Amino acid sequence: MIKSALRAAALTAALSAIAFAAQAKNPMVGGAAMYANKNIVENAVNSKDHTTLVAAVKAAGLVSTLEGKGPFTVFAPTNEAFAALPKGTVDTLLKPENKGTLVKVLTCHVVAADAMSKTVAKMIKDDGGEHDIKTVGGCVLKAKESMGKITLTDENGGVAHVTIADVKQSNGVIHVVDEVLLPKM
């Protein structure tokens, strides 16, 4: 009986260590743990750095899409990235009459693939230093890599840096970026 109890305790400890190690592999975002078994929306709502993005996704009616099967790669701008837009831009985009524009802006941050940073870096290298990434919104982002960091240039010449890469989700991956990528309008 004691042997059984010890084996059970050892097994529980081992499983806990494995679960902790698996959880520890995914980076923290906005002060919150990101769980690979949760979808993009379930994780994003917990990040204090992405409250503007979450509000925009809700206003655009994209919650059910980003909770869907995917796979999706989301280049997720931080609150600071949205705050850097010209004054009044975010408030204007969140108005119901601007939903189409908001959807266009947000879907220019989404790729219909599960693209981890190693994959993107390989595509960049294979393409001679720059790789075009076509988004769900029809935008083409120019991806480049320098000193292990990936940058994305939007159709207007705006450059976003991936600040946290490879945040695994149950339906894809999030890469946190420091700028809002804008489509040509």
pLDDT value of residue 136:
95
Is residue 40 very low, low, confident or very high in pLDDT (cuts 50, 70, 90)?
very high
| pTM of the predicted structure, to 2 decimals | 0.85
What pLDDT digit, counting tens, does each position of 58-113 carry? 999 999 999 999 999 999 999 999 999 999 999 999 999 999 999 999 999 999 99
The pLDDT of residue 165 is above 50: yes
The pLDDT of residue 17 is above 50: no
The pLDDT of residue 14 is above 90: no
The pLDDT of residue 21 is above 60: no
- Encode 90-110: b = buried (16+ Cβ within 10 Å), e = exposed: beebbeeebeeebbbbbbbbb
Is residue 148 very low, low, confident or very high in pLDDT (cuts 50, 70, 90)?
confident
